[in-house]
Amino acid sequence: MGLFSFLTSDIAIDLGTANTLIIHKDRIVVDEPSIIALDKATNKVLAIGNKAMQMHEKTNENIKTIRPLKDGVIADFTAAELMIRGMIKMIDTGSRFFTPSHRMVICIPSGITEVEKRAVKDSAEHAGAKEVYMVHEPIAAAIGIGIDIEQPNGSMIVDIGGGTTEIAVIALSGIVCEASVRIAGDVFTRDIVDYMRREHNLLIGERSAELIKIEVGSALPELETPPADYEIRGRDLMTGIPKEIKVTYSEIAYALDKSISKIEEAVMKALEVSPPELSADIYHNGIHLTGGGALLHGLDKRLANKTKLPIHIADDPLRAVVRGTGEVLKHLDHFKPILIS
């Protein structure tokens, strides 16, 4: 143990396609978009997280923005390492002598390959971690919403993130059956961009589509308490000049329908292959929704109609996974059976 070992910082990371969250000393200390801005000539880091997102789709020829993760896995190793390192530096420890993390717990998609796992571990180690542990996202989500994963009772988690939707039936600290589909928030965003171009001849960027999704994103064309129409600006593809239109939640429900149907199919398949005794537990306990996709208006009702099961939206679904990852970090020895190293 070195002189300053007491200052080493164990952290839990939800390294998401859309957002990266970090827990340090039981608190969420970083919650930023997973994006980095670099100088094209020198590859110098210009901005990370929110500051880089403000530059996204507005850069000049000397600046590039990179989202290092795609479909839940690392697509650009160097950018991922720089982003993780930069986000760790954002942690305010109250000390000038902040040292690199001693241990990191990072959550990963359940459908990840060995090569993709290695990329996550290598990125974390290059960013300063001395020990790296990984935990599957559905298990982290279950822990984060207060489910006792060690019990024999089966619980079903549907975690709709930015890059993937993770579906898992969990019992006795393990995933009994699972499905991981690369349809989630990013695909919803692209669906909205395509819809606006096709139906309104309006070209909008990712950030605008993301705002539409947040404000009027819906899984059903009819809602009991609908959100107000949302005004969006873009470029008219016919005239080439900027214009503003109003978008309704019903339109967005139509735009997202095919993608949501694919998530429904994956949920149904996971239910079909669940052991009978666990199926009985799920019938009683219902399905738990986590991740940003859980916030789509009417998604719980649509899934309830499809599965005929109770659907529970987690409190603060965007942070369920990182909270669970933080609990794993806090009780590392206790959760050893679920760790991937």
**Residue 6's pLDDT band (boundaries 50, 70, 90)?**
very low
Choose among 177, 178, 207, 174: nearest CA to 190: 207
- Whether 155 and 119 map to the same domain: the answer is no
| Distance, CA of 182 to CA of 140 (rounded, Å) | 19
- Whether 197 and 127 map to the same domain: the answer is no
- Whether 297 and 166 map to the same domain: the answer is yes
Q: Which two tokens stand for residue 264?
A: 């429904």
- Whether 178 and 68 map to the same domain: the answer is no
pLDDT tens per residue, range 124-163? 998 888 999 999 999 999 999 999 999 999 999 999 999 9
Q: pTM of the full predicted structure?
A: 0.92
By residue range, what is the domain housing residue 288?
A: 148-183+259-317
φ, ψ (nearest 5 deg) of residue 316: 50, 60
Choose among 89, 108, 259: nearest CA to 191: 259
pLDDT tens per residue, range 86-121? 999 898 765 544 455 579 999 999 888 999 999 999
**Residue 8's pLDDT band (boundaries 50, 70, 90)?**
low
Q: Helix 185-200 vs helix 206-216: angle between axes, to the nearest 10 degrees?
A: 100
Give the residue from 238, 255, 272 where a domain finishes.
255
φ, ψ (nearest 5 deg) of residue 149: -70, -15
The CATH number assigned to the domain holding 296 equals 3.30.420.40
Report DSSP state, residue 5. G
| Distance, CA of 113 to CA of 125 (rounded, Å) | 19
- Whether 189 and 178 map to the same domain: the answer is no
**Residue 237's pLDDT band (boundaries 50, 70, 90)?**
very high
- Whether 20 and 120 map to the same domain: the answer is yes
Question: Which residues does the annotation place in the binding site?
Answer: 17-19, 162-164, 210-213, 292-295
- Whether 22 and 112 map to the same domain: the answer is yes
pLDDT tens per residue, range 156-194? 999 999 999 999 999 999 999 999 999 999 999 999 999
- Whether 190 and 325 map to the same domain: the answer is no
Total structural domains in the chain? 3
- Whether 83 and 199 map to the same domain: the answer is no
Mean pLDDT confidence for 305-309: 98
Sequence letter at residue 184: A
- Whether 283 and 248 map to the same domain: the answer is no
| Distance, CA of 155 to CA of 175 (rounded, Å) | 10
Cβ atoms of residues 179 and 167 within 8 Å: yes
**Cβ neighbours around 9 below 10 Å, total:** 20
Q: What percent of the chain has pLDDT over 70?
A: 95
Report DSSP state, residue 104. E
- Whether 129 and 99 map to the same domain: the answer is yes
Mean pLDDT confidence for 254-283: 97
Give the residue from 255, 287, 308 where a domain finishes.
255
Question: Which residues does the annotation place in the binding site for ATP?
Answer: 17-19, 162-164, 210-213, 292-295
- Whether 239 and 334 map to the same domain: the answer is no
Cβ atoms of residues 34 and 83 within 8 Å: yes
Model pLDDT, residue 59: 80
The CATH number assigned to the domain holding 244 equals 3.90.640.10
